[in-house]
Amino acid sequence: MQLVRRWPYSIAVGVSILVGIAAVIGSHAVGIPLKDPEGFLGPAYIRLPLLALMLSGVGVLIAAARRRGLKRLPQGISEVVKHEWTLRRTLYIMTGLATFYVSYVGYRNLKSVLPVYREGTLYDRDLLQIDRWFFGGTDPAVVLHAVLGTDLTAVILSSVYLAYLPLVPISLGVFLVLSRDMAVGAWYATTLCLNWVFGVVSYYVLPAVGPIYSRPDLYTDLTATKVSNLQQGLLDNRLEFLTSPATSEAIHGVAAFASLHVSVTFAAALFLNRTGHHIIVRTAGWVFFALTFLATLYFGWHYVVDNIAGMLIGWAALTVGARATGCTPERLRKLREEPVWQSPVEEPAREPATSGAVRG
């Protein structure tokens, strides 16, 4: 625990190394090469450093403006970079990005080889029966589409669901770069790493493809959106991968239990709450989580049990992450008494005025 107190990234680094090794061994054992999943703004090893650089620039400008005002912004920038952007701070940010990247790539590759290791094993029929029990004997899709409609709601929820893709790396960059307490950024990075690990374990425990692929007939009335394009693209990748896992360039990305969209957004909303952000920010976090939860059922990505399990994973990841990084309730209470984002550093010491100086 002494190491954890000194370096809050100890657990995140350990987890990322383990999941990275598991991905290498798991892929090599079945003769499938590791792949780097591409996403928002290209491959993760490009978009994450770019995001960090952009947010670092924004953070420096904000701190410099608070320190010296807009008229003396260049002087403020020089002082902030000199006194605040230490080597330690830079290494913390780089470590947070690295642990996220390694954990995410490991997670995606372990998810990709899931059909090979769990060939022919799917629990969709059982999960669908539980869904019908929750909704009084009716499929959730039938109820939600009848109540919410299949046109405008589909467009709105599609935008919400897809916003998750860029918001995860963006939120990571924000908390790593702009948090005043560097352990808070480490807490969020550790939470994301644990989400990927807990999530991929759940995929292997209870393999499922989700309602949209097990009962596609329930979703034919929905207006075409970018979500439907994404679902078709994932299905095409799944079929291509299953045809020849060892030679396919596609990454298999279909897995229902548990929902990591729900786990990550739930963890993020809880994180905003516990770190004492403004009520508007906290409310936005909970609204985004609720709409994401709804969207996963509305579009047939997940079953109800998937989302419940996702909430449990999000809570567990955040709780373990807080303990691993030393973000105790006492520390967070002190943090809530001060501004959340990094504050200006103290003014450099000035020479004391000469006592008894003669006034001209």
DSSP secondary structure, 220-289, as one string: TTSPP-HHHHHHHHHHHHHHHHHH-TTT--PPP----SS-HHHHHHHHHHHHHHHTT--HHHHHHHHHHH
- 342 neighbors 81 (Cβ within 8 angstroms): no
Task: Give residue 5's pLDDT.
Answer: 53
- First-residue to last-residue Cα distance in the chain: 62
Q: Which of 170, 175, 205, 200 is nearest to 190 (CA)?
A: 175
Q: How many CA atoms lie less than 13 Å away from 230 in the CB half-sphere?
A: 15
Q: Which of 110, 4, 105 is nearest to 46 (CA)?
A: 105
Neighbours of 69 (CB within 10 A): 11
Instruction: Report the greatest alpha carbon distance in the chain.
Output: 93
Report d(CA 284, CA 268) in Å as an integer: 11
- 161 neighbors 261 (Cβ within 8 angstroms): yes
Report d(CA 88, CA 185) in Å as an integer: 13
Task: Give residue 359's pLDDT.
Answer: 35
Report d(CA 84, CA 65) in Å as an integer: 14
pTM for the complete prediction? Answer: 0.86
How does DSSP assign 47-89, residue by residue? HHHHHHHHHHHHHHHHHHHHHH-GGGHHHHHHHHHHHTS-HHH
Task: Give residue 79's pLDDT.
Answer: 77
The tens place of each residue's pLDDT in the chain, 360 residues long, gives: 454 557 899 999 999 999 999 999 999 999 998 888 765 455 666 766 776 777 777 777 877 787 777 777 888 788 777 777 778 888 888 899 889 989 999 999 999 999 999 998 999 999 999 999 999 999 999 999 999 999 999 999 999 999 998 889 889 988 888 777 888 999 999 999 999 999 999 999 999 999 999 999 999 999 999 999 999 999 999 999 999 998 888 899 999 999 999 999 999 999 999 988 889 999 999 999 999 999 999 999 999 999 999 999 999 999 999 999 988 877 777 766 554 444 444 444 444 444 333 333
Task: Give residue 47's pLDDT.
Answer: 67
Report d(CA 274, CA 43) in Å as an integer: 32
Looking at the DSSP bridge assignments, the partners of residue 341 are: 179
